Each structure stands twice: as structure tokens, then as C-alpha cells.
Structure 1
Amino acid sequence: MAPEGYMVGVKGNEDLNRVFARAMPVPRGLFALRYLGADDERNPPRISVHVGPDVTGDVQLLFAPGSEDGVMRRPGDAVVVSSSGDAIIVVTIFVGEFALSDGVKLKIDQLDKVSGRDGELVRASSGQKKKSQDSSEEMPIYLSGHIQRRGDVSLPAGEWLGGRSSRQHIEGFAVHWPRRPMGVDIEYDCSVAGQGRMPEALTGGFVGTRARALSIEGVSLRLIGENAASYKLQAEAIFSDGSAVRSSALELVAAPRDPGASLVGLTVHVQKAAVESVKASATQVSETSVGGSVDHQLADSVPEMKDAGARNGVGLRSERVRVFRGARSFANRHAAE
């Protein structure tokens, strides 16, 4: 039986002060070892892959173009393993100094046969009635952030950060999209009292402040990417003066009625757009891009997607991911982002 996947724990930055190694048995066949994700998205560990000792048969490792020294440096990287017999590959995880967690997800899939999961999908698709074109599929989006007098919070998918009746202002937040499809992302930023507009972030990035008693006075979120028109943004921001601002299909730009009012509630949902609404959404993107009145043009935003840790390789289908972690836990210095 081919191994189905592994998750390995680590902690990552430039100073490498911890190393973990895991042996993965590989039978005869063609496999893809994928770096699916890291618990600490800001500091993903680096992972090297080598052939183990006493290997029977020829084993070849093929890394992506541009990979240096056989190292997977961020989620989305992968290596193809070709083995002519039973073998062992050794996965070494290099951990840096400033990580929040030692979790890394790796998945190995056999490429030269149809998996049980693939077979189920084929049978299901052949026997399933075509879904109605106006149906929408909601994506799992969840929020984390820092709230006045509550500190760091992380919420289940679909729940409000703060809320309509909250009296504590939100000081900073992050948007998480764990199974984000390729070609679409959420870009967001905020304006902080006394600090002005903060730099933009993509999903997983934190905007705002922590534990500085500074409130958010404005917030914006937008869908970006070549497939953005295939999705609908459903977001709402609530401010301490009672004003509520809801998003359009692709963007939320929210500010309170009263100057100085602070953000106290935020919710973000994304749905797969109905087929008939995709053309209208695409028209909206075109009008926004050529109008020149929006600060963040779609064409300028898309290239930034490649810079974030979990930008590439999201949307991967996996049958099962096993979990391994290091023996030592890490202090939660910041909110999980």
C-alpha cells in the first residue's frame, strides 16, 4: 500500500535552530509529495527530501523548476518521486526561531493508479444529476483577531468577529480561507486611529494592531485573482455608532457615519457564484479596473499572490493527511494568523 500522507511539526524563520526528520516508506511507483500547509503561515519551515539508506532499486526525485538544493520552501511546493522498488525517502524539516507552531502538512499521492477516492468521484459524477445552475456553494472562511479587553481570538468558520451588540472595538484581524481555490484570494486592509491606513494583506495575513488600545476606523475587503468573478463576497462591518455596511459581490469598503466610531463587528463569507451571475460579476470587475477610482487595481494585486506562504497549491484534493508534530510546544506569542 502506498502511504497516503504525513503532517510534520516545525517552526520557521531564517535562524534554523531545530531540525526534525521523518522516514516515509515508498513502494514501486510514481508519487507526488506535496507541501500542503504550515500552521505558522508567516514563518513556514523549509523541508528537504532525500533518498534513505539501503534503498533497493533506483529512486529519482524531481523538484519544481527554480527549486534550490532540493528544498521545499513554502506550502505549494512539491517533489515527484519515481521508485523502481521498495524505498525510503527521508523528509527533513528545518525550523527557525520565531514560529508560533511546529505543524506542517505533507501529503503523498500515487500518480500511476486511480485512487479509491478518485474512483468514488468518477462514479458519483456519472450517476449524479446535474446541479441547478443557480445553486451556490459556500466556502469555509473564518476570522481571527485582537479585541479590546478580550485579547486574541480565533473563531470557527462563519462566525462573527465581535458582533452587532459588541461594546469592545476590534484592534486587528486576519481572514483565513483554508481550502481556497486557485485563482482567487481575498485582499484586505484597514485604517487605524492615529495610524492611518495599514498595509494590505492576503488571506492569512494580519492587519491592524494588538494590545495598543487603537481602534479600526475603516475596513475594506475585495476578491482578487483571475477567477474572482466566479465567487461572491458576502461581508458586513458594524461600527460603534450603529452603522452597518454590507459588501457588493466583489468588494466591501466600510466606514462609520460618525467620525471616530470604531469597528466592533465583522463577518466574511464567500460563495461560488451562480453561472448566470458570473458574467455580471466579470463586467463589474472590468468597470472597476478601468475606472481609475479604486486604489487597488486587480492587475496590480494578482502578482502579489505568489509571495504569501500558502498562496500556491491550495485547493489540492487529499484523501487523508496524517499528523506529526515536534516534541516541544511553542508559546502563543501572537494570534494564530
Structure 2
Amino acid sequence: MDLFRGKTSDAEQQKVLSLDRGLYFINYKNADDSVSPPHVMVAPAEGHEQRMEIILHPDATEPTLWKPNSGLVVRVNTPGTLQVQVQPAKPGGSRTATVRVEQIQAGQTRATGQVNGAGLPTNVATEGLKVLGHVAGRGDIVVGPNAWIAGPAAPSRVEGMALEWPDRPASVDIRYAVRFANGQTGSGKMVPLGTYAGTRGRALPLTAVVLEMSGTDELKFVAEAGFLNAPTLRAVGKRVVLSGPTNREPLVGIRIGIERIETAEQNATPETPRKSAGSARVRVFRSQQRQASAAR
């Protein structure tokens, strides 16, 4: 999908990519203007300089790709954010370029899917999600995505929870709420990321958890919960509600993850953009890792 169509400000001519730990090849594939092609500048986002290093060609002095069929390598030591920016070679010149980001693994390069201007990078670091749960008799427990707090192997009352996602894309908003059987103050109130919802040390187990996500059509929650004397419940979607059969059973286990939603559009081959001098279009591609279906 084309990016930055018709936009002219410096801020609008860049694409921000969230990259997992790994090695990536930034490949400037082609440009509409072959005589005076735009140049592509690559740099870590502010504050992420220590998370990655840019490996240049021996004859290069800066992380700028001046023409098609050039490239560089980015080594990401910890998940971080990379900026890819396009600038015209001359005032009023073309800003249309195709840049492909390829992840290098185990001696081979694999295409990892498309990043488009209206959406999110394919490799959004959802493993950065952290879930805190306060469990009766055990205190606060913090786990990563898709890991149980209490749960089938060690069921116990969950009295509160909080979500953290430091590398959350700026456009994504997540809110959540917990409910109590007795209508305790705060029951059902939606709170933002990082906010603790529930109680501690008051023997007030949760009876429901609500998760909501907005700002993207490309991600979804995948969550499971166990309630006392009830089968394990699984819910998938941008808004999920987890509760027992009567809405009064205590929560005795929960795990939460975030996954990408696959669509026909994401898997489609992008159309070739029409030439337009002075337009600001960039296509950035990355390899797409196929997600397992959430349906059971």
C-alpha cells in the first residue's frame, strides 16, 4: 500500500517501524524518478539509539540511501523503533520510493510482509505486553503475554490486575475494567494502560474483566479466564468480556495476549503506484509472520 500520498511536511514523510530483536536488511528497491531519485534516511527513534546499531557499506559515511538498489543493515539488540524517512533530491522533486525491510534469520532472508501508511508495522512487538495480577495469598504476579496468572494449574482468587505495554504503537489505545460481585466502588470503570484495577488484601475476587482496544483494525485480544466451578472461557476480539455463567463466580486464573488480525488486504500484492512529480509516496515492506487462527 502506498504511504504519504500528497503530504509534504518532514514529519509526514517518515514511517516508524517497531522492530523485534534481530537483523534487518533495509533495501531501497526503486523510485519513480530515476534521474533524480529521492534519498532514504534511516535512524533509530529518539531514545532508542542504544537498542540498535546501523551497519553501513564500507564506502558509506552516513545511514542515507541515495539511490535505488542500495541498502544497509540494522542490528536490533532489544525491541525498538526505527524511522525511515524520504526526502526529494531537489526542491519539488519526487518523494515516491519503494523500500523493503527484510528480516535476516539463520543464514536466510525471508520476506516479512507489508507495512502500510494507514496501519501498523507487521512486526509490532506484542511480546512487550506485561500483565500484573494480584492473587490472594501470593501477592502481585507479573507475566508476559499468553502466560497464566493463577489458572488451571494453580487456581486462586485474582483480586486485581493491570496491563503495561511500553512499546505500544502511538495510535493504539487500550483500556480495561474489572467487576466485583457486590458492586464495590470502581466496579466496571474503564482505566488506561498502567492503571491498577481492583483491590489488594480485601478478599474481593474479580467476577469479570473487560478489555477494549481502539486506534487499529490490525490487532486483537486473545484472552482466557478461569472462573470457580466453570469451564475455561476464551475470548478473541478488539473488545472482550470475560465472566462466569452467572457473572458472580470468582476469577481464579487469567491470561491475555495481543495478536495481529490477518486480512485479505494485508496478504494482497500492492498495486504499482502511478507516477506523480512532487508526490510523497513510500512503500515499505516487511516479512509477514503467519499467525495461527484464533478460532478453536
Report the TM-score, using the length of structure 2 for normalisation: 0.49
Larger strand proportion of the pair: 2
Report the TM-score, using the length of structure 1 for normalisation: 0.43
